[in-house]
């Protein structure tokens, strides 16, 4: 131990990057070390949970022995030990495990030296303020994390052996992941069951002076031509619209009887305000990054983690839309300085949380320094995400955008046509977000005025089934149902992709045959666990544990009492589910008797003989992508990365190494 390290204060965080950033703000009195994530957890090779009293066996990760030795060594000479892991349940648990290690070392640390500090942003001011407010570890938060960890371990390690017997060897199940798979499987069933229907819309081109504009038929004989139908889905409702014109002949017949002159029956003009959205929560950030940039939740959270650790944004795992008074004040001053007083909303704008089971323990995600709208030292992805966060947060205190909406109704025979226009009067917060708005200006028109009709036509449409889930819509559904927490959305999707229960096709999720078979078995035998109300109820119970209103061991005992019976019943009485295989239409070249089928293995799809294990013929599966390689002209194929993400390549690889994310 060097002399200058003796009797320093020891601050412990999870991330080396975070440690380096914080180290810049603290003086020579502090030594900052990182645990590099969890250092003590349940072992992977056994259940490690006593079902009688739910005592848990924790072990130190073998890969973290060096980190633990460094922490123990540094703690021996520290005059104060501050546990500064992330400000959530996971972070609280990491601090608790670190404290246990230090108190159970060969030469234990005096527990009076150990305390907990939390901060939601890594800035000099926030850290200095946090250091003044050290506290004891919050065991309610720790117990909520333990409860979730043990619950997921018990469900996963209990279901997996049954899946091995009843579906396929090597499968695993998770409490929340299995519900996500069910959502995707149910959506696929709903899509397959949906009956498409053709319908026609009718439009007319009108002219006044030299200006042409379009009007749409909306009523015939006083009745709306469009009707909206609703379908009840597994996780909500789906609405779709169709018109009363079902055939081309119906539409053409109506158009044929239209008169050349349209009479204006009503002119409606009104000003409308468009308000900015609240600052990002974790789920909304993932949804926005998915829609705007095509990012996965995992990618978004990885970039956000870097921004947080560099001190550029506040803590990125949050379900709160709250902003501090200090941040609001800074945003308002910045807007006034850069855009003028008229761009500041007169009264401070506050938002209410609409997410189910929202904790609101943290702030929404925002920049730590409003005067920095862009970053210079980050990579391209960091810049994109930061700018998106900055604009959304700062815009919350900007004035509303004011628009003038014009609606004009025309009559022609027994029909009513409608034409809509919009004009921006004041761009307000849109000046900050940079969102584009195209004016649609109609000519000056008055009631009872007659307008010339130039031509009319019909447009054929089709009712579409509900779309498959994307990263954005799946996260939205999980949040809406109260399933999972901000920190779990990205890992849920990554896990079920990695386990090959689902696959991503052009940004949308669809279940694999393995996912459908596994889901079928679990729903049939464990309907309660895979139901949305039950999963949301467990989240509520864990929230009560975090508030000290529920005992996590009692929660587990109540759960296990029912679950154990379902396990025994499923193991002894349930039928085996067959995983369907897709035939290629080719005979096996090795045994000559079998047919070649597409199977799903550990590393993705492959082709084998349906007489396996009698015939062990296999070959690589190449999915035809429907294009020619732009470099050599060979057939293009679909490939996958190690994480399951699809990309396009050449069938002649490795001779030709052309590859791309988009189909050419």
Residues with catalytic roles: 315
Q: Tell the residue number behind the tokens 């296999």, with chain if given.
A: 618
Contact 475, 488 (CB under 8 A): no
Give alpha helix (H) positions in 405-463: 430-433
Contact 387, 376 (CB under 8 A): no
Q: Is the dihedral of CA 368, 373, 377, 379 positive or negative?
A: positive
Could you tell me which residues are beta bridge partners of residue 457?
A: 203
d(CA 255, CA 335): 53
Q: Which residues, at least 6 apart from 526, have a Cβ–Cβ distance to it below 8 Å?
A: 159, 566, 570
DSSP 3-state assignment of 503?
Answer: strand
Residues present in the chain in total: 664
Give alpha helix (H) positions in 323-429: 325-339, 380-395
Q: How far apart are the first and last CA of the chain?
A: 60
| Among 348, 343, 392, 384, residue whose Cα is nearest residue 367 | 392
| Among 111, 75, 66, residue whose Cα is nearest residue 1 | 75
Tell me which DSSP letter residue 27 carries: -
Tell me which DSSP letter residue 319 carries: -
β-bridge pairing 80-83 and 114-116 = parallel
Contact 120, 126 (CB under 8 A): yes
* 12-to-28, 128, 625 alpha-carbon distances in Å: 15, 15, 50
Q: Tell the residue number behind the tokens 């997921």, with chain if given.
A: 152
Q: Tell the residue number behind the tokens 């889901």, with chain if given.
A: 519
Question: Which two tokens mark 452?
Answer: 């010339």
Could you tell me which residues are beta bridge partners of residue 508?
A: 470, 505
Residue 82, Cα to own-chain centre: how many angstroms? 33
| Among 439, 407, 441, residue whose Cα is nearest residue 208 | 441
Question: Which two tokens mark 391?
Answer: 């604009």
Q: In sequence order, what E strands does 119-251 have?
A: 198-208, 211-220, 223-224, 226-233, 236-243
């Amino acid at each position: 131990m060097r002399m200058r390290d003796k009797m320093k204060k020891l601050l412990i965080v999870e991330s080396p990057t975070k440690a380096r950033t914080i180290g810049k703000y603290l003086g020579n009195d502090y030594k900052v070390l990182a645990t590099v994530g969890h250092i003590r957890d349940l072992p992977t090779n056994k259940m490690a949970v006593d079902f009688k009293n739910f005592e848990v066996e924790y072990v130190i990760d073998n890969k973290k022995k060096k980190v633990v030795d460094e922490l123990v060594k540094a703690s021996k000479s520290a005059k104060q030990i501050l546990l500064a892991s992330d400000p959530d349940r996971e972070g609280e648990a990491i601090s608790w495990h670190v404290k246990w290690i230090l108190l159970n070392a060969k030469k234990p640390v005096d527990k009076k030296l150990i305390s907990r500090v939390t901060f939601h942003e890594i800035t000099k001011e926030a850290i200095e303020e946090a250091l003044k407010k050290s506290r004891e570890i919050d065991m309610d938060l720790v117990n909520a994390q333990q409860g979730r960890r043990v619950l997921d371990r018990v469900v996963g390690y209990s279901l997996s052996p049954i899946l091995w017997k009843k579906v396929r060897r090597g499968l695993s199940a998770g409490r929340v992941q299995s519900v996500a798979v069910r959502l995707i499987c149910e959506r696929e069933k709903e899509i397959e069951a949906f009956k498409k229907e053709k319908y026609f819309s009718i439009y007319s081109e009108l002219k006044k002076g030299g200006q042409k504009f379009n009007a749409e038929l909306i009523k015939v004989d006083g009745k709306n031509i469009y009707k909206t139908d609703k379908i009840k889905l597994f996780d909500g409702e789906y609405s779709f619209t169709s018109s009363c014109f079902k055939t081309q002949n119906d539409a053409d017949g109506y158009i044929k009887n239209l008169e050349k002159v349209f009479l204006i029956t009503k002119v409606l003009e009104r000003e409308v305000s468009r308000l900015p959205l609240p600052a990002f929560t974790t789920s909304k950030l993932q949804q926005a990054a998915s829609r705007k940039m095509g990012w996965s939740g995992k990618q978004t959270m990885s970039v956000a983690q870097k921004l947080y650790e560099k001190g550029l944004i506040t803590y990125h795992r949050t379900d709160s839309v709250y902003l501090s008074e200090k941040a609001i004040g800074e945003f308002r001053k910045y807007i006034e300085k850069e855009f003028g007083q008229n761009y500041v909303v007169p009264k401070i704008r506050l938002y209410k949380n609409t997410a189910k089971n929202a904790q609101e323990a943290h702030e929404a995600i925002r920049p730590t320094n409003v005067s920095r709208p862009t970053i210079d030292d980050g990579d391209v992805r960091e810049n994109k995400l930061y700018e998106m966060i900055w604009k959304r947060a700062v815009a919350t205190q900007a004035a509303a955008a004011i628009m003038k909406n014009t609606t004009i109704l025309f009559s022609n025979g027994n029909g009513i046509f409608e034409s809509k226009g919009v004009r921006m009067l004041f761009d307000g917060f849109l000046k900050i977000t940079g969102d584009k708005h195209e004016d649609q200006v109609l000519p000056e028109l008055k009631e009872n005025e007659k307008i010339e009709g130039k031509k009319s036509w019909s447009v054929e449409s089709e009712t579409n089934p509900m779309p498959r889930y994307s990263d954005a819509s799946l996260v939205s559904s999980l949040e809406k149902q109260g399933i999972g927490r901000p920190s779990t959305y990205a890992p849920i999707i990554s896990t079920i992709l990695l386990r090959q229960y689902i696959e991503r096709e052009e940004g949308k999720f669809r279940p694999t045959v393995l996912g459908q078979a596994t889901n079928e078995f679990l729903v049939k035998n464990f309907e309660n666990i895979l139901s949305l109300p039950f999963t949301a109820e467990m989240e509520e119970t864990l929230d009560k544990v975090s508030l000290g209103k529920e005992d996590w061991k009692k929660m587990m005992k109540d759960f296990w009492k029912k679950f154990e019976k379902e396990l025994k019943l499923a193991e002894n009485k349930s039928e085996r589910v067959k995983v369907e295989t897709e035939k290629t239409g080719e005979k096996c070249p090795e045994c000559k008797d079998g047919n070649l089928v597409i199977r799903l293995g550990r590393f993705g799809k492959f082709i084998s003989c349906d007489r396996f294990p009698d015939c062990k013929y296999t070959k690589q599966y190449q999915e035809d992508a429907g294009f020619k390689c732009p470099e050599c002209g060979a057939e293009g194929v679909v490939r996958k990365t190690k994480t399951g993400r699809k990309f396009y390549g050449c069938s002649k690889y490795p001779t030709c190494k052309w590859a791309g994310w988009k189909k050419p």
